[in-house]
């Protein structure tokens, strides 16, 4: 358990919860929540996380095109 305050230390929160946040962006059903998670990753995530997320989004776009 961490001893940080996610409100005052969002960078630590995003870094510790990045996998969960990415899952919400990829599979979440609420576009507003997905956008908030994406914004958090862009602002507070590390560069490799942003690159990973871009690849995941591109993959999802390809899958969506295949489905029709």
The helix/strand/coil state of 30 is: coil
Q: What is the pLDDT of residue 33?
A: 93
Percent of the chain beyond pLDDT 90? 24
Percent of the chain beyond pLDDT 70? 88
Q: How would you label 24-46 residue by residue, b for 16+ Cβ within 10 Å and e otherwise? A: bbeebeeeeebeebbebbeebbe
Rounded mean pLDDT of the chain?
A: 83
Domain spans, the chain: 11-67
Tell whether the model's pLDDT for residue 20 goes beyond 90: yes
* Chain segment 29-43, per-residue pLDDT in tens: 998 998 999 899 888
């Amino acid at each position: 358990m961490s001893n940080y305050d996610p409100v005052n230390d969002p960078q630590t929160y995003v870094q510790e919860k990045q996998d969960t946040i990415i899952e919400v962006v990829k599979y979440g059903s609420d576009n507003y929540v997905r956008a908030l998670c994406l914004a958090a990753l862009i602002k507070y995530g590390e560069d490799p996380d942003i690159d990973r997320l871009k690849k995941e989004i591109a993959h999802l776009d390809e899958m969506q095109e295949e489905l029709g």
